[in-house]
Amino acid sequence: MCEIYNKMFEIFVIIIMAILIYIFIRKKQSYNKEHKKKIYKKKSIIYPNNEIIINKTNKLEPNLNSDLVEIQYHVDYSDTITAINALTPQKELFNLSFSPVETSVPKETTTNQLVSIFMNSLNDEIKKTPQFLNVNSGWNNMNMRQREKSNQETQLESIGITSKLYNTPAQKEEVILLKIDKAEQYSTDTQYRIEVHIIVQKKNVSDQMVLMVQFFMEKEDNDTRDKFFDKKLSNDDFKTTVLIERIFIVGFLTNKSLLRTKMEKFYEYDENIIRNDGTMNQEKVLKMMIQKHKDRDDALNSFTQTLDKDVKETHYKDCKGEYNETRTIVDDYVCKYPEYK
């Protein structure tokens, strides 16, 4: 009898230990998820029947600026950059185990829903961002410094003279979405990453910001096997936790670079000099440069024909110390290389 009781006691202890281990593992998993949610801004999307339902509306094409300047800071977007720094810690979450990755294009409805969530989160963070720096501002706060006008500035403005070399930065304002440029999806056996390029703009700024946003999702959030002991098992209504993994400022679109000088236009080439591999056709470049130099010489000669004889002699007179034998790249093209015996 004693042996039977001992065996029953051992079985009971084993069952208790198994239950405690299961509870410990579940608490650890829940702690990891809660810790990740505290670090990152948690946004939940409801996927009815495993798809996102979104209403499609016909919108006009946005008026985008022409030139992309690849810089990561803009003084008029200081509040937006501060909100981006506060929105996510910019840490890698996807595929830390270096598993095989599959690349695909996500559904348009999925991309629209994710971008909508990001825009709401970004504008909420912009509202919380102060207009000026204060004593509690951190190293990643890019806002302006509040300063008082000096007496000299007040006096200059009173007589109608500009007192500043640079324009005053734009005030804090929410951003609006102009265009979803492109999207790409990376997936492993347990995780998703959707990378979206978008163009946004502040209402009081003419330049536009280009952002690359990465969204992170885990497939285990969709797994209902941990609810095996629940009475009602249903896969129709479940939630997927979406984390904004990283945000990168690609650059800014502007129209200010269209105002070019005469020299910049002189060295401007046509589009047909680019080969299929992206390199420039040197022969076409030389031909265009020769033609440009001929046009400039013709314009100069037509000007000198209007001058009198004395001025013409002064103009065509050689300068002191002029190097007549200096070769240029044009000479290398139009002439043959010297032959050495």
What single-letter DSSP state applies at residue 171?
A: P
Same structural domain, 12 and 49: no
- Evaluate whether residue 153 is within a structural domain: no
The per-residue pLDDT for 207 is 92
Q: Could you tell me the end-to-end alpha-carbon distance of the chain, in angstroms, rounded to an integer?
A: 116
Query: Are the beta carbons of 208 and 64 closer than 8 angstroms?
Result: yes
Query: Are the beta carbons of 224 and 233 closer than 8 angstroms?
Result: yes
Same structural domain, 323 and 195: no
Rounded Cα gap, residues 76 and 201, in angstroms: 11
What's the average model confidence in pLDDT over 61-70?
85
By DSSP bridging, strand 175-187 and strand 239-254 are unpaired
Domain span holding position 128: 41-146+165-224+235-257
pLDDT band at 1 (very low <50, low <70, confident <90, very high): low
Same structural domain, 78 and 172: yes
- Evaluate whether residue 152 is within a structural domain: no
- Evaluate whether residue 133 is within a structural domain: yes
Whether the predicted pLDDT of 70 surpasses 80: yes
- Evaluate whether residue 158 is within a structural domain: no
The per-residue pLDDT for 112 is 93
Which percentage of the chain shows pLDDT scores above 90?
23
Same structural domain, 63 and 186: yes
Same structural domain, 83 and 202: yes
Joined tokens for residue 116: 């909508």
Q: How far is CA 320 from CA 202, 207, 301, 323, 325, in A?
A: 58, 50, 22, 9, 14
Look at residues 214, 216, 218 and name the one whose alpha carbon lies nearest to residue 189: 218
Rounded Cα gap, residues 149 and 164, in angstroms: 10
What's the average model confidence in pLDDT over 154-175?
82
What DSSP string runs through 249-277?
A: EEEEEESGGG---HHHHHT---GGGB-TT
Which percentage of the chain shows pLDDT scores above 70?
68
In this predicted structure, which of 38-47, 149-158, 177-186, 331-340 has the lowest mean pLDDT? 38-47
Same structural domain, 175 and 198: yes
Same structural domain, 92 and 19: no
Same structural domain, 190 and 90: yes
Query: Are the beta carbons of 75 and 155 closer than 8 angstroms?
Result: no
- Evaluate whether residue 306 is within a structural domain: yes
The per-residue pLDDT for 314 is 61
Specify the pTM.
0.57
The per-residue pLDDT for 249 is 94
What single-letter DSSP state applies at residue 190?
A: S
- Evaluate whether residue 339 is within a structural domain: no
The per-residue pLDDT for 131 is 80
The per-residue pLDDT for 340 is 44
Same structural domain, 12 and 108: no
Whether the predicted pLDDT of 91 surpasses 60: yes
Total domain count, the chain:
3
pLDDT band at 286 (very low <50, low <70, confident <90, very high): confident
Question: What type of residue sits at position 63?
Answer: N
Greatest mean pLDDT among 30-39, 102-111, 127-136, 227-236 lies in 102-111
- Evaluate whether residue 340 is within a structural domain: no
Same structural domain, 49 and 192: yes
The per-residue pLDDT for 54 is 37
Helices (H), 64-210: 78-87, 108-128, 151-158
- Evaluate whether residue 94 is within a structural domain: yes
- Within 8 A by CB and 6+ apart from 92, the residues are 245, 246
Same structural domain, 126 and 196: yes
The backbone torsions φ and ψ at residue 261, rounded to the nearest 5 degrees and listed phi first, read -80, 170
Same structural domain, 72 and 191: yes
